[in-house]
Amino acid sequence: MTLPRSDLVNYGKHLYLSASLLLISLAVTAQKDDVIRIQPCSDSLIMHEVDSLKNFYSKNGFSLLKEATISMQSQFELPVIVPLNEGSWYQFIFIGDYTSQLYEVRMYDWDEKMVVYQKKQWGDVDGNIISYSYIPKFSEYHMMKPVQVNKHKKNLCGCVMLFVKKGPR
């Protein structure tokens, strides 16, 4: 039995449409698997350092605004976006896994201009801790990008803290 030409054309269109929808749904499913999900982590050495730094900065007139202990992957930056107020004195801290070989933090202003860059290596005094002060010239969002490199571990723990100075500088 042969189908009329018009039925074959319609059948072909429906087949093409079905195949296209299937490919699109597969592509969307594949993209969902590539999403980096923020997950908390726990490392007793990092938590000990966090507690010590909280105590130190609170005694020196700073209050903790944000703290996040998060799972990281070696060699991948972790963007952290924070709103900062003009003229306020901030203290940023990144604590990485003590076995990593390299630690870096870059901070960018709203115009994507790098305003801070710090790098430490394993063996430096407090090598797994990067800490810096920053007083923004404008009230705007800033992005901090910590990264750590570890040749032996892919999944790492890291902590980011943001303090602000209370009262007059």
CATH topology of domain 44-165: Jelly Rolls (2.60.120)
pLDDT of residue 122: 79
pLDDT of residue 101: 94
3-class DSSP state of 33: helix
Mean pLDDT of successive 10-residue stretches along the chain, which has 169 residues? 58 51 45 62 91 95 94 93 95 94 95 95 82 95 96 93 84
Q: Please report, for the chain, the start and end positions of each structural domain, with discontinuous segments joined by +.
A: 1-35, 44-165
Tokens for 19? Answer: 């195949």
